[in-house]
Chains A and B, each alone.
Chain A
Amino acid sequence: MKKTMTFAAALLAASVLGGMANAKTLVYCSEASPANFDPGTTTGGNDFDASSRTVYSRLVEFKHGGTEIEPGLADKWEISDDGLVYTFHLHPGVKFQTTDYFKPTRDLNADDVVFSFDRQFNKQNPWNGEKYLPNLTWDYYTGMDMPKYVAKWEKVDDLTVKLTLTEPNAPMLANLGMDFASIVSKEYADQLEKEGKMADFSTKPIGTGPFQFVDYQLDSVIRYAANPDYFKGKEKIDDLVFAITPDATARIQKVLAGECDVAPYPNPADIATIKANKDVTLMDQAGLNIGYMSYNTTIPPLDKPEVRHALNQAIDREALIKSLFQDAGATPAQNLIPPTMWSWNKDVKFDSYDPEAAKKVLADAGLKEIQLWAADRVRPYNPNFQRAAELIQADWAKVGVKANIVNYEWTKYREEGKKKERPGAFQIGWTGDNGDPDNFFATLFACSAIGVSNYSSWCDKDFEDLIQKAKKTSDQGERTKLYEQAQEIFAKQAPAFLLAHSQVYAVVRNNVSGFKMDPLGIHRFDGVDKAE
Chain B
Amino acid sequence: MLRYLLNKIALLIPTLVGITICAFAFVRLLPGDPILAMAGEHGVTPARYEELKEQFGYNLPVWEQYARYVGEVATGDFGVSISSKRPVLQEFKTLFPATLELSFFAMIFAMVIGIPAGIFAAVKRGSWFDQSLMGTALVGYSMPIFWWGLLLIIFFSGYLGWTPVSGRMGLQFFLKPITGFMTIDSILYGKWDALRSALSHLVLPAIVLGTIPLAVIARQTRSAMLEVLGEDYVRTARAKGLSAARVIGAHALRNALIPVVTTIGLQVGTLLAGAILTETIFAWPGIGKWMVDSIFKRDYVVVQSGLLLIALIVMAVNLIVDVLYAVINPRIRAA
Contact = CB atoms under 8 A, between A and B. Distances in A.
Contacts of A7: 113
Contacts of B40: 43
Interface residues of A, number: 72
Give the interface centre of A139, A199, A219 by most chain B CB atoms within 10 Å.
Answer: A219
Interface string A230-255: 00000000000101111101100110
Contact of A18 (B31, B36, B44, B165): B165
Among B41, B86, B165, B280, the most chain A Cβ lie within 10 Å of the Cβ of B165
A16 B117 CA distance: 29
Contact of B41 (A17, A35, A203, A453): A453
Interface string A1-37: 0110011001101111111111001010000110110
B309 interface: no
Given A35-B84, A36-B84, A453-B43, A19 B171 contact: yes
Nearest to A250: B166
A452 B289 contact: no
A221 interface: yes
B85 A411 contact: no
A250 to B, nearest CB: 5
Contact of A11 (B38, B171, B203): B203
Interface in B159-210: 161-168, 170-172, 174, 176-177, 196-197, 199-201, 203, 207
Interface in B259-274: none
Interface stretch (B11-19, B149-157, B229-237, B325-333): B149-157
A431 B41 contact: yes
B293 A33 contact: yes
Contact of A137 (B55, B157, B158, B203): B55
A304 interface: no
Contacts, number: 190
Interface in A174-205: 199, 202-203
B32 interface: yes
A223 to B, nearest CB: 7
Contacts of B94: 218
Interface residues of B, number: 72
Interface string B111-125: 011001100100000
Nearest to A143: B42
Given A11-B162, A13-B199, A253-B157, A243 B285 contact: no
Given A17-B196, A250-B153, A415-B33, A243 B161 contact: no
Contacts of A409: 30-32
A139 B38 contact: yes
A452 B44 contact: yes
B26 interface: no
B177 A246 contact: no
B290 to A, nearest CB: 6
A260 to B, nearest CB: 8
A411 B282 contact: no
Interface in B61-97: 80, 82-86, 91, 94-95
Given A27-B171, A247-B281, A415-B36, A217 B177 contact: yes
B32 A411 contact: yes
A452 B45 contact: yes
B196 to A, nearest CB: 6
Contacts of A243: 167, 171, 283
A19 B170 contact: yes
Contact of B285 (A3, A11, A199, A244): A244
Interface in B1-56: 30-33, 36-46, 48, 52, 55-56
B298 interface: yes
A221 B171 contact: yes
B85 A134 contact: yes
A498 to B, nearest CB: 16
Interface string A410-423: 11101100100000
Interface string B266-302: 0000000000000011110110011001000010000
Nearest to B290: A219
A411 B31 contact: yes
Contacts of B86: 36, 199, 203
Given A10-B203, A41-B85, A218 B33 contact: no
Nearest to A140: B42
Contact of A247 (B30, B37, B283): B283
Contacts of A25: 171-172
Contacts of A430: 41
Contacts of B166: 245, 247, 250, 253-254
Contacts of A428: 41
Contacts of A199: 85-86
A256 B164 CA distance: 11
A14 B113 contact: no
6 smallest CB-CB distances across A and B, nearest first, come from A411-B32, A219-B285, A18-B164, A220-B285, A14-B200, A412-B31
5 contacts: A139-B39, A243-B283, A244-B285, A245-B165, A452-B43
